[in-house]
Amino acid sequence: MSKTKSEYLINRHDNQYEVVIGLEVHAQVTSESKLFSTSATKFGAEPNTQVSLVDAAFPGMLPVINEYCVKQAIKTGIGLKAKINKRSVFDRKNYFYADLPQGYQISQFKDPIVGEGKVILDMPDGHKEVGIERLHLEQDAGKSIHDLDPKNTFVDLNRSGVALMEIVSKPDLRSPDEVNAYIKKLRSIMRYLGTCDGNMQEGSLRADVNVSVRKKGSKEFGTRCEIKNVNSIKFMQMAIEYEANRQVDLIEEGQTIDQETRLFDTKKNETRSMRSKEDAHDYRYFPDPDLLPLEVSDDFIENLKSEIPELPDEKKKRFIEKFKLSPYEANILVSDIETSNYFENVIKKSDVKLATNWIIGELFAALNEKNLEITESPISAGNLSKLINLIKDGTISGKIAKTVFEQMMEGDKDPQKIVEEKGLKQESDPKALEALIDKVIDDNRDKATEYKSGKVKLFGFFVGQVMKVSGGKANPQLVNEILKKKL
């Protein structure tokens, strides 16, 4: 039935349902100070230590736009191949909450800073384009803490006024896997640009997930539910699966789906109704009279364009074309900027093929085991490059290289030194090898006779013996050659 293997469908009785997903990603802008004030934005500071009079909405305080955040938003828009709006407007979104000191959030409603764009996903069955509806700048709220006291709620305003980019996708996503790929790609692009660190544990990246279902083949969208504020990819995927199945069940039972806002309960792994459409807030959006419309010139945008680094899609293309990497290898190496930088540093002075294999294979496995990021790798790009050169020029064998690599993981040691100190240098002197081989043949006369009488499988035995006697240091290629002659 399915067009491709990866198509995500929910089957009930004789019906097949397609899931339609759109995301509103809230990405914290990487910036030293807040969107409309000069307060710091450092994560994990003592509560209420990064709050200015503006953030706490004291009487007579006024917002002043942080130009750096505007640049960051435009750069992100460029990275999303999106239309940059030269004129955008900040609006007030009015609602009451204890952690919203102004009684309104400054956001962009009708005229966002960035318009339509796109993100390309690499899925197992090919490329998938996801449309971006818009990107706008807005203030984050503070944090309400309900579990410190049985009666009172505590409020931390450190986050109040921090700049967020809300990136709204079109309803183009069709499966939890695509959502995974989308978030990772978005994160990757923003990390390349340096506009959002994408740290989901610290809340720098969260999403509202819009989910609806429809019978396969249907052109109409179903009624959607919005799952608020999900802060990990895994939870997004779980929430989507739960929510899509819940909606399918309702339809199958002949019921209708209410458009509503829901919450994902990570403990029970289910979504719960938060408020219905009827109870939806009337935010009374209107242009913030404290701020003039934001106008940027062509020059301003062009200058930012010139600061845009090579992005993952372009880098991947270059890696494939220039270094002859497979799409799979290229994908892995460009997935985040640190990995691709590491790779490019390694291959500055060493063999591309070997470097690719060693990074994707040994290094990733070792980092994974120690739960380290590439930026925390004990082995610097320079030393990995040296190790690869030692293999390439025959100083050590691949097998010895693994031993050296393990040593290097214990601290950024120079592989050359390890090889020297431990005497791991490969034996490539033919005379020395001949002597060694002669001794092995001598010690195994009977096997040598069997070999000569046609039992050629025994060749491997002799190679093994020579390597064993040499302590693994014998140059395998030379051993092969000499053995063939001697036997």
Partner 1 sequence: MSDITKQSLSELVENIKGKKLSSSEVTKAFVERSEKSKELNAYITEDYANALNKAKKFDEKPNLDLKLPGIPMAVKDLFCTRDLRTTAGSKILNNFVPTYESTVTQNIWNEGAILMGKLNCDEFAMGSSNETSFFGNVQNPIDKNLVPGGSSGGSSSAVAAQLTPITIGTDTGGSIRQPASFTGTVGLKPTYGSCSRYGIVAFASSLDQAGPMAQNVKDCALLQEVISTYDEKDSTSIDFKRNEYGKELTKDIKGKKIGIPKEYRVDGMPKEIEDLWKKGIEYAKDCGAEIIDISLPHTNYALPTYYIVAPAEASSNLARYDGVKYGFRAEGENLIDMYEKTRSEGFGAEVQRRIMIGTYVLSSGYYDAYYLKAQKVRKLIKNDFDDAYKKVDAILTPSTPSSAFKIGEKTNDPVSMYLNDIFTVPVNLAGLPGISIPAGHDAKGYPLGLQIIGKAFDEQNILNIAYAMEEKINFKNNITDWWIK
> Interface with partner 1 by CB under 8 A: which residues?
53, 56-65, 92, 94, 96-98, 101-104, 153, 155, 282, 284-286, 289-292
Q: Work out how close the CB of 142 gets to partner 1 at its nearest, in angstroms, rounded to a whole number.
A: 10
Hey, is 182 helix, strand or coil? Answer: helix
For residue 94, with 0-12 CB atoms within 10 Å meaning exposed, 13-18 middle and 19 or more buried, which class applies? Answer: middle
The residue among 60 and 217 lying less far from partner 1, judged by its C-beta, is 60
Spatial contact of 173 and 21, defined as CB atoms under 8 Å apart = yes
The residue among 76 and 102 lying less far from partner 1, judged by its C-beta, is 102
The residue among 293 and 394 lying less far from partner 1, judged by its C-beta, is 293
The residue among 2 and 153 lying less far from partner 1, judged by its C-beta, is 153
Beta-carbon contacts of residue 434 (< 8 Å; ≥ 6 apart): 482, 486
Q: Work out how close the CB of 75 gets to partner 1 at its nearest, in angstroms, rounded to a whole number.
A: 23
Q: Work out how close the CB of 329 gets to partner 1 at its nearest, in angstroms, rounded to a whole number.
A: 50
The residue among 97 and 328 lying less far from partner 1, judged by its C-beta, is 97
Q: Work out how close the CB of 293 gets to partner 1 at its nearest, in angstroms, rounded to a whole number.
A: 11
Beta-carbon contacts of residue 174 (< 8 Å; ≥ 6 apart): 7, 8, 18, 19, 20, 21
Nearest residue to 16 via CA among 244, 332, 197, 230: 244
The residue among 101 and 415 lying less far from partner 1, judged by its C-beta, is 101
The residue among 68 and 461 lying less far from partner 1, judged by its C-beta, is 68
Task: Name beta bridge partners: 166.
Answer: 26, 136
Cα 96 to Cα 99, 104, 105, 401, 422: the distances in Å are 9, 7, 10, 63, 69
Spatial contact of 166 and 26, defined as CB atoms under 8 Å apart = yes
The residue among 110 and 349 lying less far from partner 1, judged by its C-beta, is 110
For residue 147, with 0-12 CB atoms within 10 Å meaning exposed, 13-18 middle and 19 or more buried, which class applies? Answer: exposed
Q: Work out how close the CB of 56 gets to partner 1 at its nearest, in angstroms, rounded to a whole number.
A: 6
DSSP 139: E
Residue that the structure tokens 């067009």 belong to: 3
Spatial contact of 37 and 63, defined as CB atoms under 8 Å apart = yes
Hey, is 90 helix, strand or coil? Answer: coil
Spatial contact of 261 and 209, defined as CB atoms under 8 Å apart = no
Alpha-carbon span 227 to 217, nearest angstrom: 25
Q: Work out how close the CB of 31 gets to partner 1 at its nearest, in angstroms, rounded to a whole number.
A: 18
Q: Work out how close the CB of 154 gets to partner 1 at its nearest, in angstroms, rounded to a whole number.
A: 11
**Exposure string over 370-392, b if 16+ CB within 10 A, otherwise e:** eeeebeebebebebbbbbbbbbe
The residue among 62 and 432 lying less far from partner 1, judged by its C-beta, is 62
Alpha-carbon span 463 to 116, nearest angstrom: 64
Q: Work out how close the CB of 282 gets to partner 1 at its nearest, in angstroms, rounded to a whole number.
A: 5
**Exposure string over 248-280, b if 16+ CB within 10 A, otherwise e:** beebeeeeebeebbbbbeeeeeebeeeeeeeee
The residue among 149 and 282 lying less far from partner 1, judged by its C-beta, is 282
Spatial contact of 198 and 187, defined as CB atoms under 8 Å apart = yes
Q: Work out how close the CB of 96 gets to partner 1 at its nearest, in angstroms, rounded to a whole number.
A: 6
The residue among 58 and 328 lying less far from partner 1, judged by its C-beta, is 58
Q: Work out how close the CB of 151 gets to partner 1 at its nearest, in angstroms, rounded to a whole number.
A: 10
Q: Work out how close the CB of 264 gets to partner 1 at its nearest, in angstroms, rounded to a whole number.
A: 24
DSSP 53: T
